[in-house]
Each structure stands twice: as C-alpha cells, then as structure tokens.
Structure 1
Amino acid sequence: MVHDPGHAQLHDPETDPLATYVLEPDDVRTLLARVVSSPGAAHHTSYAPFTGAPIASVPLSTPADVERAAAAARAAQRRWATTPVRTRTAVLRRLHDLLLERQSDVLDLIQLETGKSRVSAFEEIGDIALVARHYAARAGRYLASRREPGLLPGLSSVRVHRRPLGVVGIIAPWNFPLTLTLGDVLPALVAGNAVILRPDPQTALTALWAAELLEDAGLPDGLLQVVVNDGRVLAPMLVDQVDHLSFTGSTAAGRVVAEQAGQALVPVTLELGGKNPLYVAPDVDVEVAARGAVRACFTGAGQICVSIERLYVHEDVAEEFLAAFVRHTRALRLGSGLDYRSDMGSLTSAAQLAKVVEHVEDAIGHGATVLTGAVHRSDLGPYFYEPTVLSDVPTEARVAHEETFGPVVVVHRVASDDEAVAAMNEGEFSLNASIWTRDARRGARLAARVRSGQVNVNEGYLASWAAVGAPQGGSGTAGMGARHGREGLAETTRLQTVAVQHGAHGVLGLPPVGLERLFALGTESWPRVFTQVLRVSKALRLP
C-alpha cells in the first residue's frame, strides 16, 4: 500500500532531515482500510512535497461505494439522532484530550502530506481543540428548543426545534487536512447527523487518522464514512446521497457544486477563494505591523484561503513599513524538518508551484518590481518557493486580480483611509481582510466599511478564525453559509415548529375554547371578534 523499500522510509538518513520519519506499512494499511472502496479499485499515489517521494497508494471510491457509504450512514444516523446531546458532546471532549496527547503523530502526517512547516501544522491542532471544546460546551444550548408565543396566550403553546438533517456530505481540500475535515465533521455529528467525508487524495492519511481518533473517542460505528476520489468526480455522487453538502475549494469549483446541489435542492455551505487585502494605516507601530503582515501573508506558504495577497500601505509610512516588511520576509527560515526550526515550508504540489511561478513571471513581464523573493528553491525540495513581495504591479497582470494561493503578495501605496477601503473592496473575493492601526476605534470604523466575511484589526486572520463561537464565511463569490459557532451548527439542522392548541376538545364538561371556539362563531362573526383581539393585543404590546 506504500512505497516501501524495507520500512517505508522515504529518505536518505545521511542527508535528509526527514530520515527519522518512518511510515509503518501496517499502520498505513489500517488507515487506508477505512476508505469505502471496492476490490480492484483504482488507486491514487500521493507524494511527499518535501522530497517528491511517494507516500501511499490510496484506493479510489466509485458511485457504488458512495451509495454503500450513504446507506450505512443513514442506518447509523437513525440511532444517533435519538442519542442525548450530552452523550454526543462527551465524544468531543474525549477527542479534545486524545488530540492533544497524540499531536506529534498527526503533526508529522500533516507535514508529510502538505509540506507545511510544523508551526503552521500546529495551527490545525489548536483549531480542532478549540472547535471540539466549543461545541462540547455549547451544542446543548445551540440545539435547545425555544418557546414562542401562540396566537391566543394561554390557549396555545409553540415550540421551535432543531432537528438533524440526516447525512451531511463534506468535500474537504488538501491545504488544511485536519482543520477542514474535523472542523466541519464535529458540528455535523454533535447536531445528530451522520457524515460522508471526502478528503483530497493527497491528504487522505491525515483525514483517515482523524477518523480513527474519533472512533477512539467513542464515536459509534457507521456515523463517519470516508470516500476518496477527485472532488469533480464525487461531488455529483454526493449530491444525490446527502441532505446537506459542505464544500471548501476554489470559486470556479464552488459554482459547479452549487449548480449541482441546486438542481437536487440540496442545501450547501461553500467556502471559496479569497484575494484578501490588508491595510496599514499611518499611525501604526511599523515593526509590529510588519511582523503581523508577514505572518498573514506567508503562513502555510500562502496556501490558506484567508491569507493576505494584497497589501495597501499609507504613503506616510510606506518607506519605513516596506523596509521592515521586506526585512522580516527575508528573515523567514525555509525548511523541511519535522520540528519547529522552520518558519515556512513547501508548496504542496507541482501544480501549485507552476501557478506561483506563472503569476510572478507574468507580473515581471508587465513591469512589476521584485522587492524580495521570486526564486524557486529547488535546493531545498521540489516545490519550495521563496516568499515574494512585488510592487508596481499593473492591473492587467494576473497576480493583481487572480487568487495565487502561494507565498506572493502585491503591495500598493494609498493616500488615505478612503482610498484604502475603496481598493480593499475591489474585486469579487470577499473572504477575509485585515487593518493595522494604533487606534482600535478607527480600525473598527474602517472594518464596518470593508466588504468581507470577516475583518481582523491588528491581526491577519487568526483572531477571527480562533473565535470559534463567531461565524466564519465569505461574501460575494467567496462563498455562502458559515462554519463555526451557532451558525455553523445550524447549517446541518432543519427547523420544526410544533404548535399545540389547548382546550380544543373542552375539559371537565366545558365547551371547547381557543381557535375552535372562535371559528364556531361563524364566518360573519369571527373576523369581527378577531379584529378586536388584534387591536387589544397591540394596545397591550403583545408580541
């Protein structure tokens, strides 16, 4: 199941910093056995971005496999939906503790499959721990039924319930293989749903490890089914089998998924592309803002949907800020070690590298200036690329308006807050934005004018993302719906209103009361009586 000349050791112990990482074939086979697939299935070979060596041969699921997964999930979900919420939240609490205990193993896997630095990989550990703890503490409150006033106070009672939808499909990308799998799986499960998870074939092992962790935390069999194939292949299959579909990926792919789901009347949650802006106001502490902007632009080698690709700097501090920003960018340590000595890792694939190179070379061809970077660091590994800062980029350059999804940022000078806000609001990608200023009130006022799903003041993206009680989502072509918080949980539920009329049959020998009594007045009298009821209700300020 793995490239295994002996012990699946992918590296030369004398020269390779990853030589200590060993994939045991039996462990990999155990993980891959969780994929719902058929005998003789086609396979996808995943490769380690750090070295280019093969990692595993992942079985691919077929339409028949998706149907089998859906049938098993529905059978398990019927039992799970009747399980008390406290039992479901107990699974999340145990998962939180197991994740922290076993983080070293999954950090290695995340790095091996994505090529990101260990500190970037740890963001995924912290995120899932926060998400698990949040829903363990608040799911009961989020799912609780609520009372609403009835038409006739005292004679009718109304309760609104949240019911699980049934089976939730999740199509997850490769760039955050733990966060964008478990981060969506956990709220769906705690709401009483079953889940069919489609991880990207490149990062399937991390997702399968997460499925194993959930099982160890006490999740009943059958509730989480894992299918693997290209998202374009599986999306239409999942639409036919699920009651809700969550998709994270490009805007172009999201449009296709939304169209397929719309035809089937299946609700969707979409988190799509982001050409995200950051503004540096003239009153900043330049060193603080420069360090924060570097993190916002180059964490995860820029392969984060909420990372910054457009930088707007007020002309009053432009020279000083850009000098500091370039200096801190050049100081980033690139490397492939499974430790915390590197600040930035590798791009994940040849396709990502090709897009980055194409955008940078196209910008240079249009007259852009390279302030730093623009170098393919093949001496470090096949897909390493230096963090790159470009200026004087004309609007016709692709990097000016297309999402790069790599370690490239374009800087612009602006003369005022108004010019900065107008520039930030250009384009169709409105997922995340960042504003840096000493004046928090100024930052909040500017944030209210920015068209974006979330705005961070004096942070790049982590402050809003880590506030897991707050919804995260895009506007415009950056997506629809939300993850995190009450809203994220609500995405996987349906509302049901139950209204009970009391006294409709009479009690203790008394005649019926309530609406039945009203209708008994006859078609000429009851509208007149009800008109008086409405006037009295308004006078009493009844809701």
Structure 2
Amino acid sequence: MTDIARAAAPAAHPELPVDRLVRRVVAGAVPTRVTTRAPFTGAAVADLPESTPEDVATAYERARVAQQRWAERPVGERAAVFLRFHDRLLARQDEILDIIQTETGKVRKHAFEEVLDVALTCRHYGRRARGYLRTRRRAGALPVLTKAVEVRHPKGVVGLVSPWNYPLALSIGDAIPAMIAGNAVVMKPDTQTALTALWALDVATECGLPEDLWQIVIGDGPVVGPAVVAHADYVCFTGSTRTGRQVAQQAAARLVGASLELGGKNAMIVLPDADLDRAAEGAVRACFSSAGQLCVSIERMFVHADVHDQFLERFLARVEGMRLAAGYGWDADMGSLTSRRQLENVSRHVDQARENGAKVLTGGRARPDIGPLFYEPTVLQDVTPGMAVCAEETFGPVVSVYPFTDVDEVVERANATAYGLNASVWTRDTARGARLARRLHAGSVNVNEGYAASYGSAGAPMGGMGDSGLGRRHGVEGITKFTEAQTVATQRVIPIAAPFGMTDEQWARSLTLSLRIMKTFGVR
C-alpha cells in the first residue's frame, strides 16, 4: 500500500448503553459471563451473561405464550409496529451505528448499509405483508362446484441464529417478516455482536412489540445453537456452510423447515465493452465493503483480456488510495476485520498463494499499526486451482483477478464452484449483461453493480444455490416461508363421486369428457 490515510491512534469506542441492553438476555440468576472486545482497539466492550440450554427452553416457553396473543392481531397491526421501528431507526441511527462499529470494526458508511437494509425491509413488509399473507382463492377440483381457498398460518416460534458480520441486517432483518407473519422469535446472535441485536429488541419494544415475543439468548454456538434448533417450529440460519449442514440435519430430524444463507465464492465478470472507470469503482465496493466480510462480496474477478491491463490500472489506483482507519467518522473507506480468527484465515490464504507463485499486486499484509485486526485490501494475480484462495471462501479483503478471452469459457469458470450466492456482470450492453446473468449459477446476479442492486431490492428473493444455502429472504418467499399453507375446500351440490343413479363406469366416462372439454376451452 502506498497511500493509506489513517488515524494517528485508534479511537476509543463511544459509551454504549450496555447495562440497559444486557438485561434483555434470557439467562439464569447467576450466569457465566463473557467479555467482548472492540476490533478497533482490543478494549473490552461488554460483560455479557451467557444462556444455558435450560435458558433457551425458558425463552421458548415465554415466546409461545406471547405468540398466541400476537397471532390473533390483524396483520396490519403487527406491521404497524415495524413501520414505527422504521422511523425510530432512522431518527436514532447514530446510536446503532456506534454499536455496530464498536462490535464489528467496520467503517461508518458500511455500518449505514445495515441501517438502510433494515429500513427497506421494514417498509416493504410493513406495506406488503397483508397482500402476501391474504387468503387466496384457488382453482377447485370441479369448476363452480368446488370452492378452494389458501390460508396462511404462522409457524409458531421461529429459531433464528444470526452471524457477526452484519449484526443488524441479518438479525432483525429476518425477524421482521417472521413476526409480521404472526410468529414469535427466539434468537441467538453471535456473542461478539450481541449488543446490536439487543438494541434492536429494545427499540422494537418501545415501538409496541409485546414483551416476550422476541427472546434473545447468548452463548457458545455449539452449546446454545443446537438448543435453539431443538425447540424451533422453523429455523432461520445465516453462517458457514459447514455449520449450515449441521443445522439442516438437526431440523430435518425433527421435520421442521429451515432456510439457510451460507457461504459464497462470488464472481465478477468485466466484459470488453464495460465502462472501466465505473467498473473499477464498483469493484472496490464489491470486494472491500465491511473488509470483505460479506457473504455476497466478490472474491474472484474475471476481466476480458482486451481490457485487462486498463481495468487493473484503474482498479489498483483506487485500491491503493483507500483510507483505512479505526475511527467513528465518515471519512474512512475500510475498517478492521472482526476477529483474530478472520485475520488468521485471510493471512493464511494470501501467504499460501504467495508461496505457491501468486503475485500480490497490492496489499498482502496485516496492519497492526492501525489496529490489532487490520489487513490491507489485497489484489492477487496468477492464482491457480491448488491454492486455498482459489476455491475456499476467504471472507476478507482479498480478490483474485483472472483474464479471459471467451464468454463461454468465463461462464464455465465462474460456475466452477460448489457455491452459488452472488455474481456481478459489467457491460454497457445491459441486455447482453442480463442474458449472461441467466447463465450464471447464482441466486442473485447484478449487472453494473456488485451486490447492492439485488440485495437492496426488498421485493425480490435473495438466497443461494448449491452450497450457498436453501430458501430465500426478501420478497414473497421471505415472509411466506414463516407460514404454513392450509387449503380449505368446500364442495357444493354434488360430491366428488358417482352421484345417485350413475354407475362408477358412467361417472368415469363423464369426468373424462369433462376433462377433455375443459382442456379444449382453456380451463385451468
């Protein structure tokens, strides 16, 4: 790195309302406690009570009582709580931005992405939930004679396990549609970022959310996580593919549904007609937002050989001009990694690639002079399939650049991964970009954007294919997955059987003729 602007010393984190928030954790009278630390400085942030599996059972008991009363309220009343939350979130955003930054180490503009995402989710489901959940008329077995309707019922209590990297967007962001659909929620946020979820619960209660409807438990994942799944009527999990498989197996054994958003090794394709300045600017956001600790961030970049050198010149200039800082202002471009484990994983991937012949075009080293968990935004070249950084999810500020010459070839290379979460295509011909997008094995594809266009479209489904998960958040599936569909069918005049005076053979012939007539006249 040649031009990193940084604070002279890491900023002390703001005073946070820890004592008020931790009272909302479901824990025993004398719980064991765990201390969280700020990634910017390593200083202690909060002394948190840890829940036990027995505490999780208690949380479910309370939630089930509250859920029965909540489900009786009209959808509009339930949605109104989160429309109020929308307004308070925007009005009090400085509070939650301070907490998110303190717990994750991300810069303020990246923390604001979470505020924006939750506000969009509140507004979308606050306005659209009644339409998504309304009783719908369906085609009956016999036209006119059979009336069939589809009714949506809440699952009951949703078990929600949320990660540390986007602690607001991926906690209450999933809880909002679950609760508007009439469910209660028992949530286990990651301990490192628990204050963010607790703040959201505190504000939601101020907005009229009933006490006990949303329960939060804290503890070690292998201990508390299975307990959350063990009592849930539906499971919503965001995290690693390895843990996601375990969650899916546990849920399947109980015959309860699950939605899982897991890992990604996301590809970006720059076609020869792309606006290179726009693509280079977008690539910085796509690769290094939240220090690359984003499941939809770009880790593989395929650039057409005709523009490869010109694009790299523009991209590297922007990367080398990024400002890294451990502060709470708006003037930094990238912050810290969140944990020592992430720093070690990023360092391992880059060091192994370098040792095996990859070229570090920029970055490639930790920056303890800025903060204990900082790592420079890193661009690699000449990465080969045997390197961990080629196929494994790095989940850090590292991208590998590959040239290509043929579109069919690049589609095959982009799809050569077990993952399938997000992808990005850059071209001036947006119709061509959309056609190429349909060939990519990814749950969302952005044309002339890295990830924000698809993720920010709250009415469109977002999720992964392959090892990137099951189910979708956002859109109609993002709320109906938290419901059970029930069909109520009413038969009139005659039964669906041979009527009096008609033999079974005559009845069968009559139905055969009716089916032929209905097909001829286009009856569905």
TM-score category of the 2 structures, normalised to the smaller one: over 0.9
Match of 1:340 among 330, 337, 353: 330
Partner secondary structure for residue 239 of structure 1: helix
What is the one-letter code of the residue matched to 1:332? M
Structure-1-length-normalised TM-score? 0.93
Match of 1:233 among 223, 236, 241: 223
Counterpart in 1 of 2:111? 121
- Aligned pairs for 1:370-519 (under 5 A) are 370-503=360-493, 513-515=494-496, 518=499
Partner secondary structure for residue 170 of structure 2: helix
Conserved 8 A contact 2:13-2:102 = no
What is the one-letter code of the residue matched to 1:252? R
CA distance in 2, matches of 1:525, 1:22: 82
CA distance in 1, matches of 2:281, 2:9: 30
CA distance in 2, matches of 1:487, 1:122: 26
Conserved 8 A contact 1:369-1:392 = yes
CA distance in 1, matches of 2:142, 2:182: 33
Please state if 1:84 is matched with 2:65.
no
Counterpart in 1 of 2:318? 328
What is the one-letter code of the residue matched to 2:14? Y
Counterpart in 1 of 2:519? 538
Partner secondary structure for residue 306 of structure 1: coil
Counterpart in 2 of 1:527? 508
Match of 1:266 among 256, 261, 284: 256
Counterpart in 1 of 2:11? 18
CA distance in 2, matches of 1:439, 1:535: 47
Conserved 8 A contact 2:181-2:482 = yes
CA distance in 1, matches of 2:518, 2:361: 69
Shift of 1:59: 1.1
Query: Residues 97-142 of structure 1: CA distance to partner in whole angstroms, max 9, x if unpaired?
Result: 0000000000000000000000000000000000000001100000
Shift of 1:17: 5.2
Partner secondary structure for residue 476 of structure 2: helix
Counterpart in 1 of 2:4? none
Please state if 1:156 is matched with 2:146.
yes
Conserved 8 A contact 2:287-2:299 = yes
CA distance in 2, matches of 1:17, 1:389: 25
What is the one-letter code of the residue matched to 1:431? L
What is the one-letter code of the residue matched to 1:529? S
CA distance in 2, matches of 1:67, 1:145: 33
CA distance in 1, matches of 2:414, 2:517: 52
Shift of 1:516: 6.7
What is the one-letter code of the residue matched to 2:383? V
CA distance in 2, matches of 1:113, 1:358: 24
CA RMSD of aligned residues (A): 1.5
CA distance in 2, matches of 1:144, 1:536: 32
Conserved 8 A contact 1:152-1:514 = no
CA distance in 2, matches of 1:540, 1:336: 69
Identity across matched positions, percent: 51
Partner secondary structure for residue 429 of structure 1: coil
Going from structure 1 to structure 2, the CA distance change for 1:502 and 1:106 (only over 3 Å counts) comes to same
What is the one-letter code of the residue matched to 2:523? L
Aligned residue pairs, count: 518
Partner secondary structure for residue 133 of structure 1: helix
What is the one-letter code of the residue matched to 1:71? E
CA distance in 1, matches of 2:522, 2:274: 50
- Aligned pairs for 1:22-171 (under 5 A) are 22-23=15-16, 27-171=17-161
Shift of 1:50: 0.2
Shift of 1:397: 1.1
Going from structure 1 to structure 2, the CA distance change for 1:39 and 1:149 (only over 3 Å counts) comes to same
Shift of 1:519: 5.9
Partner secondary structure for residue 281 of structure 2: helix
Going from structure 1 to structure 2, the CA distance change for 1:94 and 1:529 (only over 3 Å counts) comes to same
CA distance in 2, matches of 1:519, 1:263: 47
Shift of 1:247: 0.6
What is the one-letter code of the residue matched to 2:411? V
Conserved 8 A contact 2:10-2:370 = no
CA distance in 2, matches of 1:151, 1:393: 59
Shift of 1:380: 0.6
Counterpart in 2 of 1:507? none
Tell me which moved more, 153-162 or 180-189. 153-162
Going from structure 1 to structure 2, the CA distance change for 1:327 and 1:153 (only over 3 Å counts) comes to same
Counterpart in 2 of 1:11? none
Counterpart in 2 of 1:355? 345
Query: Residues 67-103 of structure 1: CA distance to partner in whole angstroms, max 9, x if unpaired?
Result: 1111111111111111101101111110100000000
Please state if 1:314 is matched with 2:307.
no
CA distance in 2, matches of 1:431, 1:441: 22
What is the one-letter code of the residue matched to 1:114? T
For structure 1, the 5+ residue unaligned runs are 1-13, 504-512
Going from structure 1 to structure 2, the CA distance change for 1:125 and 1:527 (only over 3 Å counts) comes to same
What is the one-letter code of the residue matched to 1:379? D
Counterpart in 2 of 1:366? 356
CA distance in 1, matches of 2:182, 2:85: 17
Shift of 1:15: 7.1
Query: Residues 220-246 of structure 1: CA distance to partner in whole angstroms, max 9, x if unpaired?
Result: 111100011122222321222111101
Conserved 8 A contact 2:104-2:164 = yes
CA distance in 1, matches of 2:118, 2:161: 17
CA distance in 1, matches of 2:323, 2:126: 38
Shift of 1:514: 4.4
CA distance in 2, matches of 1:82, 1:179: 27
Going from structure 1 to structure 2, the CA distance change for 1:535 and 1:312 (only over 3 Å counts) comes to closer
Conserved 8 A contact 1:239-1:266 = no
Shift of 1:498: 0.1
Structure-2-length-normalised TM-score? 0.96
CA distance in 2, matches of 1:307, 1:151: 48
For structure 2, the 5+ residue unaligned runs are 1-6
Shift of 1:517: 7.2
Match of 1:218 among 186, 208, 211: 208
CA distance in 2, matches of 1:206, 1:535: 60
Query: Residues 408-443 of structure 1: CA distance to partner in whole angstroms, max 9, x if unpaired?
Result: 111111112222111101111110000111110110
Conserved 8 A contact 2:188-2:225 = no
What is the one-letter code of the residue matched to 1:188? A
Tell me which moved more, 273-282 or 519-528. 519-528
CA distance in 2, matches of 1:57, 1:78: 34
CA distance in 1, matches of 2:21, 2:310: 51
Conserved 8 A contact 2:181-2:483 = yes
Conserved 8 A contact 1:211-1:224 = yes
Conserved 8 A contact 1:239-1:264 = no
Going from structure 1 to structure 2, the CA distance change for 1:112 and 1:541 (only over 3 Å counts) comes to same
CA distance in 2, matches of 1:235, 1:521: 60
